Amino acid sequence: MRAPSRVLAVAALFGLLAPRVASAGTLSDPTGSHAVELVHGFWSVVADVAGQPGDADDQQAPHPPPQAIPPGSKNEPPVALDELSKPTAIETRLREALRRHDGGIRVTVTNGAARMGDFSIGSNETVPGHLLVVQGTADIYGKLLGNLVTVEGDVVIHPGGVVSGDILTLGGEVRDEGGEIGGEVRTFRTSNVLETPLPAAAAPPPSAIETVFRRMAGVLGVFLTLGALGFGLVMFGRSNLEVVSDTVSHSFGRAFATGLLGQLLLLPTFGMLVVGLILSVVGIVLLPFAVVVYALLVIVGAVGGYLAVAHAMGETYTRRRLALGAMIGSPNSYRYLLVGLGALAAFWAAWSIFGWVPVAGDLIRGAAILVTWLLATAGFGAALLSRAGVRENFAGRLLPPEALTDEYLWATPQFGVTAAKRPGSRTPTRGL
Amino acid sequence: MRRAMLSILALLLGASGAAAQTMRPFSTYRQWHGETRLDARLDYAAGALRLAAGRPAELYRMDVLYDGDRYLPVSEFDAARGGVGLGLRASGQGGLRVVSRKELRQTASVTFSPRSDLALAVTLGAVDGDLELGGLRLTDLKLEAGASRATVRFSQPNAARCRAATLTSGAAELSVLGLGNSRCDRITFEGGVGRVTLDFGGAWTSSSRVAVRMALGEVALRLPRTVGVRITLDKFLASFEPQGMVRRGTSYLSPGYDQAARHLDIDVTTAVGGVTVDWLE
């Protein structure tokens, strides 16, 4: 089955490419100018991107029977086609004027006429004034002494045909087959002038349960993402994560102050980096990379720091439980991270459940934001202090030998050996 | 699993198709009715731009694919002064859009008639531009490039005599190739930050004066051996390699400068950066 599907895929590829090659072959230019060929090639690309508007005739709805469009009522302002140099403004005006009233279109054209369906000017005819043609092709064999605008229709200037003014097509194209156009030709191949905009239905406000579910889903998504990132961090950078985590635990105040200072200095540092690179001239080349790297470092610092805080929270909680004699299967960094993220998610879960309650909902949300910012700042600061987990100075790991007392060693699980409950004692003291 | 992948792929394709719908194709042109001169102004805010000589039967033409939510096409002809304004300008609407850069890539192709004298003023914003001016009848050129990367080429000799070419760049990478074909009496370049390459190759038919002022960046001069070249340098913290030129006072002269039939006098003023010279064979 695999071989035939490959054959089919190759055949489909040829099928897609073949028409383009064929059409490219027809784009020869009598002048032989390479630039002109490029321009023609450009337009074929534009046609491709715009959804083959060259086949618009095939896709357009059948034109209505030719007829004059009756003038609008006195309340409706007439449409002036004297000035077509701002085509989008004309388009907006026509969209307003061509709205259907009582099932039909009515419009008044200043110094001109409006037609529905195909319209042609005979070779011995002269039409004075501007002309608006809606949903029809304008075939010009004779003379039009004014501007010509079509909506969802093409313009064909036949040999000997003359349009003294400008031409604007909104949803069509101009085919100059040897006629004379005195003014400028402007073509929008696509337009939505006749599309009646649907009235925007006011969406009903979501119910409280719907709101709760939406928010819960959002919180779950965010923390699952953080969990995935955290697991990756544990897997590939466990030692660094643990150092940052220990820095948060042992030097929280210092980490928070550093994080706060770091946030304040983010922009000035970025400015100095950019200016320095520009002044070095050679560094100008590196500027885009430096900007991206700086942004990435900040994001990694903030997210990594936040995960380290979660790790620290989980570790503290787990060790306390172990010290209380709880049997925990695998007290490792994965568990610490999950427990910590769960605790952090609890704030937002509370908001997602009770966020719809007036006042209290806002208070919970404010508290969740504040706590998240505090912990993220501390985590960011710890990442800075520990140089992303490389320096252990503030991680509380450089304990003097006299600090390694029996009490400490007993309460601190070493190499995965869980601490046993001290017989006769109720609760371990701080530091566990 | 495969079904899920296909669903995701379909969603992605659908999303990209929906975003592409905001790009609108617009064309404008004017028949050539014997006009001898055109004063053209091209303001192009963002995207890719190609400019070249077009069909003789058309005075000008612009085909553009643009973001209809954020930009407006400009196409204004003033018959009284024989001038036209073309390009794309920001509409000041639309806000911030976060989609693939490819989907928002605006493209424009602008051509002018090789029959009419052309005074051209081009202003580029954030543009990747390729301007082929050879084959036109260029009488004046004014180019302002903001944060652009542009190449201006004179692949064929200018069919008219160009009075002056003034090129200005902000933080841009600008290459001007074949200036010998431009037939401009006076060429001025003013740059802020970036890199500029001035290639003076081509068929020189007269002498020319060039002024280059660059604040911060690199100026690369590619010089022909067929004309006498004199470079007068005013630099602050910039390096310069004379590459075989002989110093006379504050100037550097190419060998045989005094005997050359045509002269190219270049005044370079730069603060920080470097000026390099390469000889065209």
DSSP, residue by residue, B87-117: EEEE-S-S----S-GGGG--EEEEEE-SSSE
Distance of alpha carbon A370 from the chain centroid = 28
**Treating both helix axes as pointing N-terminal to C-terminal, what angle do A208-250 and A287-323 enclose, rounded to 10 degrees?**
90
Give the residue from A291, A300, A232, A249 showing the smallest Cα distance to A267. A291
The 10s digit of each residue's pLDDT in A60-104 is: 567 888 888 888 887 888 899 999 988 988 998 898 888 766 667
Instruction: List the alpha helices (DSSP H) in A386-432.
Output: 406-411
How many contacts (CB atoms, under 8 Å) link A and B? Answer: 99
* A37 interfacial to chain B (CB closer than 8 Å): no
For A422, B31, B63, B79, B109, the CA distances from B35, given in Å and listed in that order, are: 103, 10, 21, 10, 22
Q: Would you state the pLDDT for residue A72?
A: 82
Q: Which residues contact A356 (CB under 8 A, 6 or more apart)?
A: A208, A211, A212
Structure tokens that stand for A30 in this block = 């009598």
The 10s digit of each residue's pLDDT in B123-142 is: 999 899 999 999 999 999 99
Does residue A16 register a pLDDT over 80? no
B268 forms beta bridges with B212, B233
Q: Would you state the pLDDT for residue A31?
A: 40
Per-residue pLDDT band at B42 (split at 50, 70, 90): very high
The 10s digit of each residue's pLDDT in A262-297 is: 999 999 999 998 888 888 777 777 888 889 999 999
* Closest chain B residue to A287, measured at CA: B194
* Closest chain A residue to B30, measured at CA: A184
3-state helix, strand, coil in chain B (%, to 5): 10, 60, 30
Does residue B105 register a pLDDT over 70? yes
Which residue would you say has higher pLDDT here, B102 or B44? Answer: B44
What predicted TM-score, i.e. pTM, was given to this entire model?
0.60
Measured in angstroms, the CA of A83 and the nearest CA of chain B are apart by 10
ipTM of the complex: 0.82
Per-residue pLDDT band at A58 (split at 50, 70, 90): very low
**Cα–Cα dist B266/B254, whole Å:** 12
Dihedral (Cα; A87, A90, A95, A96), 10-degree rounding:
150
Does residue B2 register a pLDDT over 80? no
* End-to-end CA, chain A: 63
Structure tokens that stand for A56 in this block = 């618009």
Contact residues, chain A, for B56 at CB < 8 Å: 31
What average pLDDT does the structure give for chain B?
Answer: 87
What's at B205, amino acid-wise? T
Are B27 and A183 within 8 A, CB to CB? no
Q: Would you state the pLDDT for residue A170?
A: 94
Per-residue pLDDT band at B229 (split at 50, 70, 90): very high
Q: Would you state the pLDDT for residue B241?
A: 83
Contact residues, chain A, for B50 at CB < 8 Å: 38-39, 42
For A214, A215, A366, A381, the CA distances from A373, given in Å and listed in that order, are: 23, 19, 10, 12
Which residue would you say has higher pLDDT here, B189 or A321? Answer: B189
Beta-sheet strand order (sheet of A174-176): A119-121, A138-140, A155-157, A174-176
Does residue A5 register a pLDDT over 80? no
Q: Would you state the pLDDT for residue A145?
A: 95
Which residue would you say has higher pLDDT here, A292 or B103? Answer: A292
Contact residues, chain B, for A31 at CB < 8 Å: 55-56
Are A186 and B26 within 8 A, CB to CB? yes
Structure tokens that stand for A114 in this block = 């409006």
**Cα–Cα dist A83/A61, whole Å:** 29
CB B197 within 8 A of CB B228: no
Q: Would you state the pLDDT for residue B74?
A: 94
Structure tokens that stand for A414 in this block = 């070493």
The 10s digit of each residue's pLDDT in A131-148 is: 999 999 999 999 999 999
Which residue would you say has higher pLDDT here, A101 or B250? Answer: B250
Which 3 state secondary structure label does DSSP give A379? helix
Least confidently predicted of A208-212, A403-407, B9-13, B19-23: B9-13
Give the residue from B86, B61, B9, B105 showing the smallest Cα distance to A49. B105
* B250 CB neighbour count, 10 Å cutoff: 9
Percent of chain A past pLDDT 70, that is, above it, reads 75
Per-residue pLDDT band at B77 (split at 50, 70, 90): very high
CB B182 within 8 A of CB B165: yes
Measured in angstroms, the CA of B199 and the nearest CA of chain A are apart by 21
Least confidently predicted of A302-306, A414-418, B140-144, B242-246: A414-418
* Closest chain A residue to B76, measured at CA: A85
* A75 interfacial to chain B (CB closer than 8 Å): no
